[in-house]
Homo-oligomer: A and B are copies of this chain.
Amino acid sequence: MRSAGRHFLQIPGPTNVPLPILAAIGQPTVDHRGPDFPSLTLNVLEGLGRIFQTSGDIVIYPASGTGAWEAALVNTLSAGDTVLMAETGHFSTLWRIMATRLGLKVEFLPGDWRRGADVGAIESRLAEDRSGTIKAVAIVHNETSTGAVSNVSAIRRALNTAGHPALLMVDTISSLGSIDYRHDEWQVDITVGGSQKGLMLPPGLSFNAISQKARRAAKNARLPRVFWDWEDMIAANAKGYFPYTPATNMLQGLKVALEMLQDEGLPAVFSRHDRAAEATRQCVRHWGLEIWCAEPAEYSSALTAVLVPENQSADALRSTILKQSGVSLGNGLGRLADRVFRVGHLGDFNDASLLGALAAIEAGLLASGMGIRAGGLSKAIAVLNTDGPLQAAAE
């Protein structure tokens, strides 16, 4: 049976794709070797540079985000190389598993999944590593499973302080275009991104932004690669073409997405996410529920994971909310299965859609007898009605 009304895709990605982007994707497929194609390629590469905040190389894969993780590793490393990773949640764990399966050695700094990467531990480990065993440090900027953000700028300073030559790789799949991120300023070597979150596209494209140091490292990296190879891409892209068939219709959508972000302005985009996140948190606190991320300085502006009361099922709650109100929420992943629900507040949204999602959650919590305090919407509204910066309200 049909569900009336428009679905609210409030998972922390894929996000609600704006209709002009869907329309662009739905325009006819073009000739990727034709004379008009290079202007599309060059246009989106330039626009992506503004989003990654880099003037360096960017590679666009016709593949979803997991592929860009693999690309970062196989372009720069050789079997047996050591990578330093930080356990910030489910996705950092998956990246670690990938690295291990690719034949890399991973040192995994333990974490409790409730905060960002431990910068002090990273710094200590790097300081110890006099011989340069560690070839790369790989961090998830925004842990989509937990709603905690790692401090990439501080990690870069840790590398610099230690004088350590390791490459810095950062997964920004769920932060890019939602949370301020600066590839060049933070001297990140490989930034991994995807289309289906802050970029407001369906899944199907992923990205590597690449430093010159990373390109040099790639020359000696021995993991086999063809599909993911940067140099083929960069060479073909220089003329606006691709070494193999690109995902042309997605690129058509990407062009529109980049124009939209440019039109709104990145500072406005980030501020919109910050306010939505704070509104969500105030609402959650009013309900009497616990925000899973334990470190306020590391709260994510892209999503909030919320712990349900003991003996309650987060998944049953999500199912109720979907049926009752047409809102999809993110499930708990890995060890958080059934314990948290995750509210995505990223991509294309406005106050009305955010408030609608929060109200639907409150309705679902009440209908599920979760013993919450009603009235959370008033708190969310108060945050959104705040003029000017939110710093006071954020505490």
Binding site for B on A (CB under 8 A): 1-9, 11, 14-20, 22-23, 25-35, 61-67, 69-70, 74, 79, 97-98, 101-103, 194, 196, 202-204, 223-227, 229, 244-250, 260, 263-265, 269, 272, 319, 322, 324-328, 330-331, 348-360, 362-363, 366-367, 374-375, 377-378, 380-382, 384-385
Contacts and interface: CB of A to CB of B under 8 A. Distances in A.
Contacts of A97: 226
A172 to B, nearest CB: 15
A66 B362 contact: no
Contacts of A250: 202, 204
Contacts of A385: 363, 366-367
22 contacts: A4-B348, A4-B350, A5-B349, A5-B350, A5-B352, A7-B30, A9-B29, A11-B33, A14-B32, A14-B248, A16-B29, A17-B28, A19-B28, A62-B67, A66-B226, A101-B224, A194-B245, A203-B248, A326-B351, A351-B363, A354-B356, A356-B359
A263 B2 contact: yes
B363 A384 contact: yes
Contacts of A244: 64-66
Given A244-B64, A362-B381, A385-B367, A269 B4 contact: yes
A3 B223 CA distance: 45
A203 B14 contact: no
Nearest to A24: B23
Nearest to A381: B363
A1 B63 contact: no
Contact of A245 (B61, B64, B226): B64
A328 B28 CA distance: 13
Q: Which of A14, A29, A98, A203 has the most CB of B within 10 A?
A: A29
